[in-house]
Chains A and B, each alone.
Chain A
Amino acid sequence: MTRIGITVDGVRTEDDVEPRLLLVHYLRERLGRVGTPIGCDTSNCGACTVLMDGVSVKSCAVLTVQADGSEITTIQGLAAGGEWHPVQQAFHEEHGLQCGYCTPGMVLAAVDLLANNPDPSEQEIREGLEGNLCRCTGYQNIVKAVQSAARQMQEAGQ
């Protein structure tokens, strides 16, 4: 067992964990933060994407011990004070989700994308989300949602 301390969605916890425990399993099974789902075992699908110290990571490809001391934001912590993040709002408006299983990872990947590139082209959005697979939408409405969120975030920033 290894002692770790992690802040998840604003709440700091300390725990003893097996070194082999994946961050996503820690979130889901220890902390009950089940909003972050698991979609594969090869880190292809991106469903488990969270923000770690502000940048996107696949929480199935991070050991909990590697995340020691970090701040994690999951889909459950993205809405600040109950107000949806513009990306969440845009996914709703543009019908950027159907079954919703890829959505937590897709939304957080999009948040990361817009942090790096506030005004992405369609191609930049597609490439920026290439680590997140969706089987329902064909991605078009996801692209539209990210474009829409980019506009709204820029307007809000001005």
Chain B
Amino acid sequence: MIPAGFDYVRPSSVEDAVAALAGGGEDAKVLGGGQSFLPLLRLRMAYPSLLVDVGRIAEMRGIRDDGDALVIGAMTTHHQVLTDALVGEHTGLLAAATATVADPAVRHRGTFGGSLAHADPAGDLPAVALAYGVQLVVAGPGGRRTIDTADFFVDYLQSSMAPDEVLVEVRVPKLGAGWGFHYEKFQRTAQAWALVGVAALVKRSNGTIEEARVGLTNMGSTPVRAAATEAALAGANATAEAVAAAAAHAAEGTSPTSDLHAAADYREHLARVLTRRAVGAAAGI
């Protein structure tokens, strides 16, 4: 299929992109790598009037060390994230989850920022971002602002960014020593979206779990934290039994959908099992 017609601009700065978006009216959309958006255009499930291609804005690409955080440009591709030494060293969970996103060709075009801005709860990276507690820097007509991940994912395919805002970069905190991580993705085929995914970050000291952060993929209209599990893990013994007991609460507060591939109660069950496995792996148990 062929997309319906649209206008196209390719600004070279964030400011120009914001201006173009503002001038393009309500059907103007930002085009990143396009790996989620182009299939929607081809199936004529989207009819933008204007696409503002931010793919060549230098400021929005690349990864830099900013002390207590890595700053990842929104247009940094999954492939760049996956192969970046800083990411591997400081934010291993992000690298591990990014490796499971789509396939190599899609990872060459698809971007970290695009995945977050798309706000698909079935995407792998929103849950990871939530677990890290990243901060998202967005630019709009009124200047730039920073949004906490906890406030970013509002609803299905909907973030708290205004339609005239552009996601510029993402600050991923370095968690420091003692943290283990694991992304557990459960899917029907390698190409399929995750039925459920669990992003686990666990800080262990000696025989106890000091802190755990657990993000869940596809367990509701937005990515969610398994808050009850996190609470149960804080200060718990680093044992399989304690992890299993905590993971039994993983589906609390979630509201997964029933669809073609899984019913809601099955998703809740999977969340419990996969959380046990993810936390166990992250804690080295």
Contact = CB atoms under 8 A, between A and B. Distances in A.
- For the residues of A in contact with B, the DSSP-based class is mixed
Interface size class of B (residues with CB under 8 A): 20 to 34
B103 A20 contact: no
A55 interface: yes
Contacts of A42: 39, 42-43
Contacts of B42: 22, 41-42, 60
Contacts of B41: 20
Contacts, number: 87
Contacts of B5: 18-20
Interface stretch (A8-16, A71-79, A125-133): A125-133
Interface of A: 2, 18-20, 22, 25, 41-44, 46, 49, 52, 55-58, 60-63, 65-66, 68, 109, 112-113, 116, 127-128, 130-133
B242 interface: no
B34 A63 contact: yes
B97 to A, nearest CB: 15
A56 B108 contact: yes
A62 B104 contact: no
A20 B104 contact: no
Contact of A112 (B4, B31, B105, B191): B105
Given A60-B42, A65-B53, A66-B53, A49 B1 contact: no
Give the residue among B1, B6, B34, B106 with the most A Cβ atoms within 10 A. Answer: B106
Contact of A43 (B35, B53, B104): B35
Contacts of A43: 35, 38-39, 106
